[in-house]
Amino acid sequence: MTTKIFVNLPVKDLKTSVDFFTELGFSFNPQFTDENATCMIISDEGFVMLLVRDFFSTFTPKPVADPATHTGSIIALSADSRSEVDALADKALAAGGSFARDPQDHGFMYARSFQDPDGHIWEVMWMDPAAVQS
């Protein structure tokens, strides 16, 4: 069995989040979409569940952190090239995302970060395949 990953994120306004990520080129599974949640497809094995904050809070006894003021996670996405990193980060900023930090260029690895409309930090990164060969 292939392991899939579902990252769950609280959002203030589901439509705003869907519009933002649609601008970045992501699609959504209508089978898992209603007024409380949607399933954003990252890849065949990776998904992000965008959950309205009140609905998200039903899954945990802990208080839900405000991503606009606290970092609870950084979601990293791989890209096939440095230019793909730049293209996705630029799209995010043009679609209403905000700057998160300066680009990180380590030669063999390049990354840019942005915040989505709720303040969740996303990092898009490329790594030279030769650097990760065993």
The pLDDT value given to residue 130: 87
CATH class of 1-57: alpha beta
> How is the chain split into domains, by residue range?
1-57, 71-134
Q: Count CA within 13 A, CB hemisphere, residue 120.
A: 21
* Bridge partner list, 121: 74, 115
Dihedral sign, Cα of residue 129, residue 130, residue 131, residue 132: positive
Binned average pLDDT, 10 residues per bin, the chain of 134 residues: 93 98 97 97 97 97 94 95 97 97 96 98 95 72
The pLDDT value given to residue 132: 76
The pLDDT value given to residue 101: 95
The pLDDT value given to residue 134: 59
* Bridge partner list, 75: 122
Residue 64 φ then ψ, to 5°:
-90, 120
- Neighbour count for residue 115 (Cβ, 10 Å): 19
Domains 1-57 and 71-134 share a fold: yes
Q: How many helices (H) and strands (E) does the chain have?
A: 4, 8
- Protein fold of 71-134: 2,3-Dihydroxybiphenyl 1,2-Dioxygenase; domain 1 (3.10.180)
